[in-house]
Amino acid sequence: MESSGKIVMGRYELGRLLGKGAFGKVHYAKNLESNRSVAIKMMDKEKVLKVGLSEQVRREITTMRLVEHKSIVQLHEVMATRSKIYFVMEYMKGGELFDKVAKGGNLTEVNAHKYFQQLISAVDYCHSRGVYHRDLKPENLLLDENENLKVSDFGLSALSESKRQDGLLHTACGSPAYVAPEVIGKGGYDGAKSDIWSCGVILFVLAAGYLPFQGLNLMEMYRKIEKGDFRCPGWFSQKLQKLLYKIMDPDPSKRISIQKIKESTWFRKGPGETLTVKQPSENATTNAAPTLGVRRRKNNHEDVKPLVVTNLNAFEIISFSTGFDLSGLFLEKERKKEARFTSENPASTIISKLEDVAKALNLRVRKKDNGVVKMQGRKEGRNGVLQFDSEIFEITPSYHLIEMKQTSGDSLEYKKLLEEGIRPALKEIVWAWHGDDEQQVHQG
């Protein structure tokens, strides 16, 4: 074992670093009494208290003590000193399931079937104990030395007593790409049904190698999630496609239950021996949903319509943090630069100012629906005509978030125009610019 020479609480010898986060580290360790390998998550008490995560830590401890299952990472014990909190957990030698997909692409349908069965077994058990995970994603699914899946990270979980009088949960949380449409909405949601949706997204990712709902920004992705707008690639078996469309039904009242999932043919028997598993080719996105970062070009001659500003709910506002930018998750080369600012002015004032700035900088302006103002250069640049969109989102009637995104032309020319022309000209209506230094925000 690679040792750091440090002994924790008199009986654990720390080894190599397994992972590092904003509030602590995870180390490999060995119990000096039993010689058992474990993972120890060490959290800084001061940081946890400072950002108000003490309730989240308590919730994780309570939940992990409630659930003991072969497909759930086991919590052995919790210890604390004046400055640290130690979670001693089962050591998962195989690492994150996410790494398998990120490094190797999609899994065979047979392997996806194996992991999905183990995932559903764990989630079904949690629900039977009144526990709803609320942050299911491949990063929170770990593999043991025998490549068996185990669910981890219950920091955002909820217990059945968390429900309000309407019998629903109301805290918006989770990871944007895996969250159910009803969680994004303003009403309450059923924790069990939202977990089922996330399981469906995970199954799609395992078998496809990319996310089912995609867009260059979160709002575009959310619109697809709310409509259940996704397509299965051609190499999926018909049984798998049928099951996925039932799991990712945007109407939670029509979404398939875990019991019905377990009774489905694909879940019970798998893809079958006759299935030929196709690997996604470079052009797979022409027949299936595009990978993140790629969007089909729209008709440049579409009719001009009146501007309609999009309303944001609390979950969407939090997710606009740079830490939640998903555009480069699977594909970096198509990623475009975005700039965001907030304004305390009404939408009409912002639009007028954008038009004045465009006129001063000799840019063409075209207003579109969905709260988008399109600006375009009048001359060919080094890489074609420069063009960018400004999309306006309403947080309150007098408080807006504006996202500016380059859609064509030379990136260096756009950056120069943004820094030297647009930013100074918008100064009087900008409350704050939001850049790469934003901190990622979680809402428990």
Residues with a catalytic annotation lie at 135
The DSSP bridge partners found for residue 367 are 373
217 in Cβ contact with 327 (< 8 Å): yes
395 in Cβ contact with 401 (< 8 Å): yes
Nearest-angstrom CA–CA distance, 208 and 235:
9
Tell me which residue has tokens 């759930």: 72
Q: How many CB atoms lie within 10 A of CB 431?
A: 12
Strands 384-396, 372-381: pairing kind: antiparallel
Measured N-to-C along each axis, helices 97-104 and 191-208 cross at an angle, to the nearest 10 degrees, of 30
Which of 127, 151, 135, 169 lies closest to 72, judged by CA?
Answer: 151
Give the up-direction half-sphere exposure of residue 19: CA atoms within 13 A in the CB hemisphere: 17
Residue 99 corresponds to which tokens in the numbers above? 């790494």
Q: Phi and psi (nearest 5°) for 134?
A: 70, 5
Q: Strands, DSSP E only, in 276-363?
A: 310-311, 338-343
* Amino acid identity at 103: K
Nearest-angstrom CA–CA distance, 342 and 401:
4
230 in Cβ contact with 212 (< 8 Å): yes
Q: Helix H segments across 248-373?
A: 258-263, 265-269, 314-319, 347-360
**Helix, strand, coil share of the chain (percent; to 5):** 35, 25, 45
